[in-house]
Amino acid sequence: MEQSEVVLRAIGILTHSAERIRTAGQDLDAGSGLGEGQIGSLLAEVFPSFQVARDATPLEAAHTVTEAALPAIMQLIGAFSFVFAELAEVHDAGRTDISSADLLRELALRMSRPDTAE
């Protein structure tokens, strides 16, 4: 999966979660489970399938899992970090002309354009 696709999915998860929190009246307990379906779907798409040899030692198994999962983990961290940094930059600048929801939409549009996607 391309990084721009992962960023778009992260934006979708954050947008959906923010909307659910707003409609739940800021009740954090009501917000549990936010985006679980979307997150699970993204993880299933990003993480590769791999097999650990039956006779692998625990250390060998750990290395196999790490080698297989690390690129996906880095891709996910990068996507969410990018979106967070964009939101934080607008917040820290004290801008009131754009809401977080509008910024997420703007980021999604920017990432959807092939000439500007990361």
Q: Map out the domains of the chain as residue ranges.
A: 3-112
CA dist., res. 82 & res. 86, Å (int): 6
Cα distance between residue 99 and residue 32, in whole Å: 23
C-alpha distances out from residue 1 to 12, 13, 73, 91, 115, Å:
16, 16, 13, 30, 17
Which pTM does this prediction carry? 0.79
For 15-33, write each residue's pLDDT tens digit: 988 888 888 765 555 445 6
Residue 113 has pLDDT above 70, yes or no: yes
pLDDT for residue 73: 96
**What is the average pLDDT across 103-112?**
94
Identify the pLDDT of residue 76.
97
